Chains A and B, each alone.
Chain A
């Protein structure tokens, strides 16, 4: 028995030391989360930002801050729900006031925005916790506080070999190249699956939806307090997506946006979901733009901001 415990302990020690080394060194690899946080924490850099992009992949992929005339920065991340957007805004506008010149917040606005915390993957929650130091991220099992639980060896090895490339540019834009959508691969099931993923029916309960809604109102309130305009941006979707989306979802989101813009005069709703300027060649999948599409949408957003600025 002693021999067994001794030998098992040796093996266990080797494993623990390996995991510890991995954890330490992996956390040092630059990534989108650490970059955004350090950028916004940096007072000199943050005070120049006039327009901050928040929300989901519909913002982080679809808007390239470089095409906006105002100094802009993207703090949007895939699947980032409004309760996280509010936390970010609150942190850099109140707790640690670095965004002193901020005039606009552009929030990707669709059902995903109202997603509840379950929608955020655990690995993403860990990123918020580790790199953004947000302690009150709910519902993470203890073991998920470590990066080694979901090892990404490919990244790690390329980092060790010096070949690691980050997937964001200095303005925070998710700069990975997206291929144009392959229409021949679009099936009815694929469209339905995607629609269901991001429809109101994916939200667990009315209570949870109301919590998400309350964060949206809180964000609008915070923006008003800080004299910031909040642009709710419904980004373009393919005709396949539009023809299948649930009517109830559209009515719900449009009326909610209407409600917000009536209640707060600093809230503007830009609904470009059905904009015919965007052709199928501008999309990378059913509801995300590719590089050329992102350029088009960014110019469109820029025009709106310029218009609001003059107003």
Chain B
């Protein structure tokens, strides 16, 4: 079920009402969460529910076994390794099998040997990477004694399958989310209202901006060979906006929806395009995945507490794996490696770790900050072209033509058809700049004098709803669903 669909609009209020009717019966409430989540997920294809049930059950069982073998580190190691292998195996089969077979076949062919490698026509289950990683984090955390294993089956199944974040995150940690399903939830008016605002902001980003950008971007990326910089530069910028609005829009809707159910999910985006260096960007972009890889890949490899060469190696591994997580394509792997390479100057010369948002307590950034943000943004945009390209060849052509002013073959591709889109992008950037110290674009509205009163605030909500209603573009899937 898509967030931006009519079915979800009907589904959400029904689930909301039943959920809170069961507020005094924790077990029943959790069972209801599982049922609702499975309906939500099964809406695409009920057969994929089998996978999620297997993943959840095995992770639950591994927790119990890890507790049973407490003190027997060797057995615990075997249990956690089995569970990790099983989860990675499922993920690998559905997501990477054909990639590996095709590449092996190509490799043998280049060596002059022809090999018939089997390829399987498998449909990638929606959000498999997200819930697999969430399940993995539980087993690792239990193994590392960060959390005690749970015996509460409904709570554990609800933790893995909780519908708002099931298909595209945020990838929650057991230490944060699981305890919330073990305790009674209370309805908090302020939190629910803020959740609604976050949902509204998420819809604005997805439906008005991301979907409208997608229409133009798809056309431009379809045909970069014949284009000139006048088309390719806006195309790259629009994709940069699209992917941010699409994914952070989803996260906003997910976090906002969870808050309606008294559940707090972690922040997934913290205005990443206002970052002053690439390190800060990665602390603000897809936070739940970055921290997952940091804790379960980077730190076990030694992190940055070793010599520079080893740190560099660890960083490259981290980003390449992270790129590969996004999909079975060389473009994703190279995109990851590219970001890893961007870290080289920071590792060699040391980096400035920005803890606060840019221009904190100020209205505008300094000239240096503007320069830093522009440079970071430029490198991020180049990365996004690689991410969006169908192949590395297409990426090379795109970059070549983007910086080649001699080709003058301007095609509109809808760039000037919707001037309103640019107005909305401006509003988005302005709002997010003003709200950069907060969770989302509409949080804490009461601090604005005008919006502290109910009537203007309601007018603002209606205004945003009106914009969503009138300027919604043709609905498209969330980009991160494919991962």
Binding site for B on A (CB under 8 A): 1, 3-4, 8, 11, 14-15, 141, 143, 148, 151, 153, 185, 187, 189
Contact = CB atoms under 8 A, between A and B. Distances in A.
A185 B411 contact: yes
B6 A141 contact: yes
Interface residues of B, number: 17
Contacts of A1: 20, 187, 189
Contacts of A143: 6
A189 B221 CA distance: 13
A68 B20 CA distance: 69
A186 to B, nearest CB: 11
B193 to A, nearest CB: 7
Contacts of B411: 185, 187
A11 B461 contact: yes
B111 interface: no
A3 B196 CA distance: 14
A11 B461 CA distance: 9
Given A143-B6, A153-B470, A189-B223, A4 B192 contact: yes
B321 to A, nearest CB: 36
B189 A15 contact: no
A189 B226 CA distance: 10
A157 to B, nearest CB: 10
Given A8-B196, A151-B470, A153-B470, 7 more contacts: A1-B187, A4-B189, A4-B192, A4-B193, A11-B458, A11-B461, A141-B6
B375 to A, nearest CB: 35
B465 A15 contact: yes
Nearest to B192: A4
B187 A4 contact: yes
Contacts of A4: 187, 189, 192-193
A189 B193 contact: no
B469 A151 contact: yes
Contacts of A15: 462, 465
Contacts of A11: 458, 461-462
Contacts of A189: 222-223
A15 B6 CA distance: 15
Contacts of B192: 4
A187 B219 CA distance: 13
B185 to A, nearest CB: 12
A3 B223 CA distance: 53
Nearest to A144: B6
Interface in B221-275: 222-223, 226
Contacts of A8: 196
Contacts of B226: 187
Nearest to A15: B465
6 contacts: A4-B187, A8-B196, A11-B462, A148-B469, A153-B470, A187-B223
Contacts of B469: 148, 151
A50 B465 CA distance: 50
B390 to A, nearest CB: 14
Report, nearest first, the 4 A-B pairs whose CB atoms are least far apart: A153-B470, A143-B6, A1-B187, A151-B470
A214 B226 CA distance: 44
A15 B9 CA distance: 14
Nearest to A7: B193
Contacts of B193: 4
A15 B470 CA distance: 13
Contacts of B20: 1
Contacts of B465: 15
B429 to A, nearest CB: 24
A179 to B, nearest CB: 14
B71 to A, nearest CB: 47
B338 to A, nearest CB: 29
A182 B461 CA distance: 44
B377 to A, nearest CB: 31
Contact of A3 (B189, B458, B461): B189
Nearest to B458: A11
B162 to A, nearest CB: 21
Nearest to B6: A143
Contacts of B189: 1, 3-4
B240 to A, nearest CB: 24
B417 to A, nearest CB: 13
Interface string B404-418: 000000010000000
Nearest to B466: A18
A68 B474 CA distance: 40
Nearest to B222: A189
Contacts of B223: 187, 189
